[in-house]
Amino acid sequence: MTPLAATLASIGGVVVSVITALATLSKTLADRRHGIGEHELATSRFGLESMQASIAVKDAIIVQLREQLEESRQEVRELKVQIEDLQTEVELLKEASGRSATP
């Protein structure tokens, strides 16, 4: 490789690295504005695991609550049927008592 070619290649490499460094700088500044600092970086590994655990617990709670909701709906349906039966029974009893009251 001639010195000129090596110089041109190295200039290209440095230009690319400067652009990358500026992009990284702007992203890091944006991160710091959004509250991602040194501490968040240092604890990100355990933070991610605890976050995944929290999300798993949240999903489990949602599934459990959905099952309870379905059970409650089923109970409500059964109670409605019981109420309708009781209302029918009450009406029959009223009719029967009205018939027996007439001479």
Partner 1 sequence: MIEHRHVYISTPRWAKVADRGLRALSYYALSFTGLHQLVGRHPLFEENSFTASWTGFLALVLLAASMVAGTAALTGKAQVEYVSLPLLLGVVGARLVLGLSAVGVSPVVALMLALWFLMAARYVWIHVAVTRARMIKRTAVTVLAPEED
Residues that bind partner 1 in the complex, under the rule CB under 8 A: 1-7, 9-11, 13-14, 16-18, 20-21, 24-25, 28, 31-32, 34-38, 40-42, 44-49, 51, 54-55, 58
Closest approach of Cβ 50 to partner 1, in Å? 9
Nearer to partner 1, 1 or 101 (CB): 1
How would you classify residue 35: left for phi > 0, otherwise alpha for psi between -120 and 50, otherwise beta? left
Answer yes or no: are the C-beta atoms of 40 and 47 closer than 8 Å. Answer: yes
Closest approach of Cβ 68 to partner 1, in Å? 22
Check residue 34 and report its DSSP letter. T
Closest approach of Cβ 59 to partner 1, in Å? 10
Nearer to partner 1, 18 or 93 (CB): 18
Return d(Cα 67, Cα 4) in angstroms, integer: 74
Closest approach of Cβ 22 to partner 1, in Å? 9
According to the 3-state scheme, what is the secondary structure of 38-92?
Answer: HHHHHCHHHHHHHHHHHHHHHHHHHHHHHHHHHHHHHHHHHHHHHHHHHHHHHHH
Nearer to partner 1, 26 or 64 (CB): 26
